Every structure is written in structure tokens, then in C-alpha cells.
Amino acid sequence: MELHKKKILFVMQLPPPVHGVSVMNEIIRSSKIINAQIDCDYINLATTKDIKDLRKSAFYKYFVTLKILMKLVFKLASKRYDFVYITIFPFGFAFYKDAVMVMAAKLMRKKVLLHLHTYGFKKASEKSSLIKGIYRVVFKNTRVICLSDALVEDVERIYQGEVDILPNGIPQVNFENHYHVNKANTGFLYLSNLIKGKGILLIMDALVILKNKGLQFKLRVAGAEGDVSYAMLENLIEKNQLRDYVTLLGPKYGEEKLNEFKQADVFLLPSDYDTFGLVLLEAMQFGVPCVATAIGAIPDVIGNGRGVLLHELKAEVLAEKMEILMHSPELRLKMSDLGFNYFKSNFTVQVFEQRCLNVLLGKADKVNKRLVKNKL
């Protein structure tokens, strides 16, 4: 006799567009072990299909949100789910869209599991008592997933209860560390969407400092355009005489993307935007030392000597860290080994899928949990 499978409705952003949250959600949707043990249905929460579409008109977003809401209500009315899993964003139109889905599920007497892939609830709630009140209503009587212990504090003033800790993971495509040091001309890599918050303009400023010191280096830039265009970068290159130092590649996917990591000496992500940084995992699995901001869960990923953490987002600070790595081949090799081995142990898709399954099935003895109380 077949045991009863949990029935879960997943309401989450799916690619396109391709970004960290949609990538992780696609991993869940395509997971054989999760879908084999759970009766899963999916609703795409995305209102755009391209990073540049994020600036589409409010009317368009309201229309798509209404369609998503109708799908949700139909699904909940036609099937008895054990709970509804919803990814929720902390601010802007995205939050209110997600909140509508949460409240609709609650009104239909469904349990809700909220998966937080980014932070910002604490900062927003400190600015406005109204926003704090809305957060508390949305989070009341839910379960919550955070990416890291370090991110639990983001919801301490709007939520009480247990928080499941579920770090991200990605498919492992490289199984041996072939990283080697290029002493003559350090090759830096930026591979992410071209968004100001991810630090691409800060990198360009740091390059000017390094160039003026007479240092030899190369930077390769790959990614889809966001609020920064390749035309803007071309202008900066011309203005600052960086033509011999910077190569603009455009978006890279599949094998072309992997080849960029294979060639790189150091990966750069000076972001005030990322919470976890899936692209850091991609770099680590090729043994590439990373420089990234000490925000969110990023210290859990590249801390303890596995990479370089930036505690200030200033061009001078970034340039200093880049120069240290340029002159320290032994340090880069050590970071490479530590990062590669830590990735294999903690951040593969197999590790993530099993952890995620344990959370979804409520296996308390196999899930890292934190209890939030007394701060509301």
C-alpha cells in the first residue's frame, strides 16, 4: 500500500528571467527526489521574462498578478494541499504581490511556508511602523525558511516561531580542482547581471586605481544588461583609458559560461544586492578565489579564508584587496583549495535537495532550526 504523499503547492518565481532565486526554484521543480516523495504542483510567480522588463508599467504587473492570483485560488479550491510554499521578496511591488498570495492562501485556510531568498525586512520595518505591521500580518501563523543563521535576525521583529535553515546549492559540473596561478597578468572575472547594486561600476572605479599604479591585469565582464548597459561600460572604458584592460563579453550561458570560470584567476562580486550569491558557488566549484561583500549569507560561503570579504563598498578598498591577491599567488592557491572542498561538502545540488526535502517533509531531527521569540 502506497504511503500518503504530502501535497504541496509551490508558488515561486521560475526562469526566465535567470537570477539566483529563479535558478533555485527551478532546481526544486526539476528535482527527481523531491517530486518522487511529494505530490508537487507549481505556479510561476514571475511577472517579467527579462531583467530589463523589471521596469514594465504598473498596469502590466497588476494584470499578471491578477492572473497568478486566479490560478492560485483555482488550485487551492480544486485540491487539498498540506501547505503552500511561497517565495517572498521584502520590498516594492514584488512584496505586495507575494503578500497577496500569502493572504489568499490563509483566507482559504491553507498553511503557508515562506522561503526568504533575500533580506531587507528588518531595514524596511525600522523605517515604517505601517510596513512593520503589514509584515507581521503576512508572517503570522506561517513557517519560515532562511538561507543562513545570519539572516534570521532579518525577521526577528516581524515573526515568532521556528525558522528552518536551508543554504542554496547548485549542480556540480567540475569534480577536480585544476586551478593554477597566473603570476604575470592576473585575470579578474565579473559574471552576473549588469546591475549597479552588484558592483560592476565599483569594479570599474577600482580598475582605474590599479591602472594608475602601473599594475598589469585583465578584467572580463559577462552578463545580461540590467540598469547598466554595455554602452555605459564602453563609455567608461574610453573615458578612463581601460581598453587594454577590459573585455566585454555579453551574456554567457552553458559551456561558454563554464569556460569563463575555468580561465579566471579571481572572481569579483562587490555587491550590496546579493544575499547568498549563487555565482560564488559557481566560481568555487572551479577553485576560483572570490572577492565579495560581507553581507547576508556570503560570509558563510567564502568566510574563514575561503575568499576575501569586503566590509566597505569603496573603490579604494576593492582595489586594495585585488592588489593583495595579484601579489599573493600562495594565498590564492590556499583559497582555491579551501573553497573547492567546502563547495563539494556543502553546496552541491544533491546536498541542497536532501536538505530541502527534509524541510518540506518536516523531519525536525535532520533540519537546522532557529527559534525566534520575544522581539515583536
| Structure confidence at residue 52 as a pLDDT band (50, 70, 90) | low
Which grid cell sits at 244? 587594454
Phi-psi region of 214 (alpha: psi -120 to 50; beta: other; left: phi over 0): left
Amino acid identity, position 348: T
The pLDDT tens digits for 313-362 are: 999 999 999 999 999 999 999 999 999 999 999 999 999 999 999 999 99
Question: CA–CA separation, 45 vs 193, rounded Å?
Answer: 20
Q: Render pLDDT for 213-257 as a digit per residue (tens, 0 to 9).
A: 999 999 999 999 999 999 999 999 999 999 999 999 999 999 999
Q: Which triple of cell numbers denotes residue 146?
A: 532562511
Taken in order of first residue, the domains within the chain and their CATH numbers are 6-170+349-372 (3.40.50.2000), 186-346 (3.40.50.2000)
Alpha-carbon span 211 to 194, nearest angstrom: 22
Please give the helix or strand (H or E) that residue 226 lies within, else none.
none
The pLDDT, as a whole number, for residue 55 is 57
Mean pLDDT of 36-64: 84
The whole-chain average pLDDT of the chain stands at 95
